[in-house]
Chain A
Amino acid sequence: MKRLPGEEGIWVLIAGDLLVFSLFFLTFMYYRAGEMAVFLASQRTLSLGFGLANTLLLLTSSLFVAIATQRLRVTGKPAPKLYMAAIACGLGFVGDKAVEWGDKFHAGIGFTTNDFYMLYFAFTGIHLFHVLLGMGVLSFLTIACQRPNATTRGLVLIESGAIFWHLVDLLWIVLFALFYLVR
């Protein structure tokens, strides 16, 4: 029988997070339907380049994490450098976000500007918190993959950490589509 990656418990967290972010998406669509003009106008003031760069950074980081975890599972060799590369992508994401938000604040756009920006800052802010947590998890993976039990008892924990990072990536992709792309 094919084994579920990670341990069962991590899927409680994943399902819970997906449930809440689904609520975020429905909330966004609900407000958008009510204030279509405001949402479309505000969307044009978002920086698509910054959002796109962040999408690429997270996708790349997820690839690193997947390769590192797969290598550990198949060959039994740890690849801490790949996890570190994923952390570097995460740092890039945070830096990109800081510049993007700083840019908006500088232009006088903030949380209270309108409903679009309220949802934008709240949802991407909560997602940013996930990214920071995820980078903590990746730092743990960097160490854990070099332990002697990494291919036996420790493997499920490493897989669970990798799954969490993929969740962070997945949530961003949906947020990106929702805020930057939906016309």
Chain B
Amino acid sequence: MLSTRSQTILVWWGLIFIIVYGLSLGFLEKMVPLPSAHLTADQVAAFYTANSFSVRLGALICSYSSAFMVPLATVIAVQMARLEKGVPIWAILQFAGGIMMSLFLVLPPIFWGVCAYTPTRPPEVTLIMHELANLTLTTTDQYYIFQMVAIAVVSLTAKPDPLTAFPRWMGYFTVWAAIMFEAGAIAFLPKSGPFAWNGLFVFWSPFCIFGAWFIALGFTLLGAINRQSALERA
């Protein structure tokens, strides 16, 4: 199979999985947005008792689809490597960041699944797993940053190339997304307001910005691969 054809398949694989992940996060896990951090242990336990099956089904689907960054990071690395001179160090860094990030997308669904697995246990035990899940989801931005910095550097420093998957605006868009992601880590401090784990700047803004960034990147990649494949066949 032509490499460009394989790359197109991998990008679509990533795009479809992120949509499945997002939908089951919202409709099965019922975690869009996350429930208030002020819920008592009894209320949290009651939520998992009432939604036990739905949360566990969500855990199944979310953890399966959570690796959506793996195929995408692989294609991004290949596309970055063709722009770099010598050892493609930024492509490798981006790949490492993307792969590590997948870990923090699979962990929260697993933790929620554990919460719902035996919701009749003492409520405090469920609460700690619930808090671990929510804080893992919102405060783990460290690897995205390496992925995003690498993409920004290559977008902004590579020689102009009509076949590039990383137009300069994508470089600036990525810088902005990386800056906005930093706010996520604040979730450790407050329990209510815009910086709580269900707040505007910790939950909604990264949720929307990440979604928009991922999809924009998916389509610049598809466009570039398409142009490269036309050249390959010509």
Q: Closest Cβ of chain B: how far from A132's Cβ, in Å?
A: 11
* CB closest residue in chain B, given A110: B189
* In the complex with contacts A112-B190, A122-B186, A7-B168 CB distance below 8 A: yes
B169 touches A122 (CB 8 A): no
A13 touches B195 (CB 8 A): no
A31 touches B193 (CB 8 A): yes
A133 touches B183 (CB 8 A): no
* In the complex with contacts A17-B179, A27-B200, A129-B182, A12-B205 CB distance below 8 A: no
Residues of A in contact, count (CB < 8 Å): 23
Cα(A103)–Cα(B195), bound, Å: 23
A9 touches B182 (CB 8 A): no
Residue of A12, A27, A130 near B194 (CB, 8 A) is: A27
Q: Return the CB mask of B160-182 against A: 1 if under 8 Å, else 0.
A: 00000001110111011101101
B200 touches A23 (CB 8 A): yes
Q: Return the CB mask of B6-19 against A: 1 if under 8 Å, else 0.
A: 00000000000000
Cα(A9)–Cα(B171), bound, Å: 8
B179 touches A130 (CB 8 A): yes
Cα(A13)–Cα(B189), bound, Å: 28
Is the C-beta of A111 less than 8 angstroms from some C-beta in chain B? yes
How would you classify the secondary structure of chain B's contact residues: helix, strand, loop or mixed?
helix
A12 touches B169 (CB 8 A): yes
* CB closest residue in chain A, given B190: A118
Report B-chain residues with C-beta under 8 Å of the C-beta of A111: 189-190
B residues 188-208 near A (Cβ < 8 Å) are: 189-190, 193-195, 200-201, 205
Known pairs A13-B172, A13-B173, A16-B177; list 18 more (Cβ under 8 Å). A7-B168, A8-B168, A8-B169, A12-B169, A12-B172, A17-B179, A23-B200, A24-B201, A27-B201, A111-B189, A112-B189, A112-B190, A118-B190, A119-B194, A122-B183, A122-B195, A122-B201, A130-B179
